Structure 1
Amino acid sequence: MDANQEERSNPFSMDEECTNCDLCERREQVVHGYGDVGAEFLFVGEMPSAGADETGVPFTGDQAGERFQDILYRLGLSESDPAAEEPVLENAFMTYLARCYHPERPPSDGEIMTCEPYLNAEIRMINPEIIVPVGERALTEIATEYTTRPASDIDIVDDHATTIRGRGFELVPMVHPENQTNEQTETFVEAFIDLLGTDYRQTKGRQGR
């Protein structure tokens, strides 16, 4: 983890009492990013699950979260048991498009736009090499904003565990763990291990890399 980092949870001190959209009416808490602020790998989902709403940590608190954390453990990006509510991550950061859980519906386009400054700030401050959009909605939003390809040309199943060139970094889409088959999980792990063995770093003036 970055030597100057004091907290893994919401390390950039983003607003934990945000009331900028209607999602705030049903949440338990705002779930901002979590992990290593010097990470080369940024994982972005659509919105917190009920489990993450309880723990306050992205991709934790339920079966899908455990599957996701197991993937990070197998990749050497986590030192923790997959069931840990506050995993010890190394070189990985986890976050969402929308920061609040709603038990009855996904976030609207307007709600995602309202949260966009949080994500943009995290991307700017972390400056990752690889962004992993987790799930179809995350892939669509990130591909629209950060690649030159039309989002309609990218499919979460067809492009799962492949590499897509972005603006200054690469995307590696992941089918959401809640929907992943065992085969898709193994495909992602194997593809990411192969990626780790390549010269994936871009020339972006990063220090200490």
Structure 2
Amino acid sequence: MDPAQDHPDNPFGMDEDCRNCPNLCDARTSVVHGYGDVGADFLFVGGRPGSGADRTGIPFTGDDAGCRLQRILGDLELSNSPPDADRPELDGAYCTYLTRCRHPDRDPTDEEITTCDPYLTADLRMINPEIIVPVGTLALRGVAVEHTTRNPEELDADDLHATTIRGRGFELVPMRALEDQTDEETEAFVEYFAESVLGRDYRQTKGRSGAHD
């Protein structure tokens, strides 16, 4: 974690009682803002908080899907905590969401995604990562709108799992939704990320080696 950083949870002091989406205020338990290392090179972004994150208030924690991502981060040496930690110690990674509140019965609406976009935009500007990992198709399409030249509706995280997409100022390395991943797909992502991202000087080769337009 950045030595100048006081704490990893909501380090930029975003509104923890946000009421911009009235239909979510009574449905949620927590407003789940970003968490992790503010000096991170790698930003992992999901579509919406899972049931565990809604309970803990920490992205990608508290349930099986969260444990899967935390295990991935540990395998990549981006976490120093066990996969089931509610407050993982991240080093070089920052976790956040396209939308910050969970409705237990449905995905976020387009209006809710638009309303929440300033939070993600602020995360990206403050972190300024080298690599964005959209977790699931909802996150991939949401990030692609502003940060790639691709048609978002044509992008599918299942098809693009463990590949690289050239972005505007970033590279995107999509991941299939955690709850849908097999152990083999998780292993494939770890191997790809270790070899194709951590295994090269991505700061110098950004937008080239193996990237899709």
TM-score bracket, shorter-length normalisation? over 0.9
Deviation at 1:153, TM superposition (A): 3.4
Identity of aligned residues (%): 63
Deviation at 1:159, TM superposition (A): 0.9
Are 2:191 and 1:196 equivalent residues in the alignment? no
Distance in structure 2 (CA, Å) of the matches to 1:60 and 1:159:
24
Distance in structure 2 (CA, Å) of the matches to 1:57 and 1:164:
27
Specify the alignment match of 1:169 in structure 2. 170
Distance in structure 2 (CA, Å) of the matches to 1:122 and 1:67:
23
Distance in structure 2 (CA, Å) of the matches to 1:203 and 1:165:
11
Deviation at 1:49, TM superposition (A): 1.1
Letter of the aligned partner of 1:196 in structure 2?
L
Cα RMSD, aligned residues only: 1.3
Query: Which consecutive residues of structure 1, in runs of 5 or more, have no partner in the other structure?
Result: 205-209
Alignment of 1:86-125 (within 5 A): 86-125=87-126
- Secondary structure of the corresponding residue to residue 203 of structure 2: coil
Specify the alignment match of 1:5 in structure 2. 5
Specify the alignment match of 1:16 in structure 2. 16
Please tell me whether the aligned partners of residues 137 and 155 of structure 2 are also in contact (alpha carbons under 8 angstroms).
no
Alignment of 1:146-157 (within 5 A): 146-157=147-158
Deviation at 1:143, TM superposition (A): 1.1
Please tell me whether the aligned partners of residues 169 and 202 of structure 1 are also in contact (alpha carbons under 8 angstroms).
no
Q: List per-residue Cα deviations over 1:80-128 (Å, max 9, x = no partner).
A: 0000000000000000011011111111010011110000000001000
Distance in structure 2 (CA, Å) of the matches to 1:164 and 1:120:
19
Letter of the aligned partner of 1:10 in structure 2?
N
The structure richer in helix per residue is: 2
Distance in structure 2 (CA, Å) of the matches to 1:157 and 1:27:
28
| Alignment CA distance shift 1:119-1:193 (3 Å) | same
Specify the alignment match of 1:76 in structure 2. 77
Which contiguous aligned blocks of 4+ residues in structure 1 show a shift greater than 3 angstroms? none
Deviation at 1:25, TM superposition (A): 1.8
Specify the alignment match of 2:210 in structure 1. none
- Secondary structure of the corresponding residue to residue 73 of structure 2: helix
Q: List per-residue Cα deviations over 1:69-89 (Å, max 9, x = no partner).
A: 000000000000000000000
Q: List per-residue Cα deviations over 1:156-179 (Å, max 9, x = no partner).
A: 112111011111110000001110
- Secondary structure of the corresponding residue to residue 157 of structure 2: coil
Deviation at 1:154, TM superposition (A): 2.3
Please tell me whether the aligned partners of residues 23 and 107 of structure 1 are also in contact (alpha carbons under 8 angstroms).
no
Q: List per-residue Cα deviations over 1:166-194 (Å, max 9, x = no partner).
A: 11110000001110012211110000001
Specify the alignment match of 1:127 in structure 2. 128
Letter of the aligned partner of 1:65 in structure 2?
G
Which piece of structure 1 moves more, 167-176 or 145-154?
145-154
Letter of the aligned partner of 2:30 in structure 1?
Q
- Secondary structure of the corresponding residue to residue 178 of structure 2: coil
Distance in structure 1 (CA, Å) of the matches to 2:104 and 2:144:
26
Distance in structure 1 (CA, Å) of the matches to 2:130 and 2:158:
22
Deviation at 1:202, TM superposition (A): 5.2
TM-score, structure 1 length as denominator?
0.95
Deviation at 1:137, TM superposition (A): 0.3
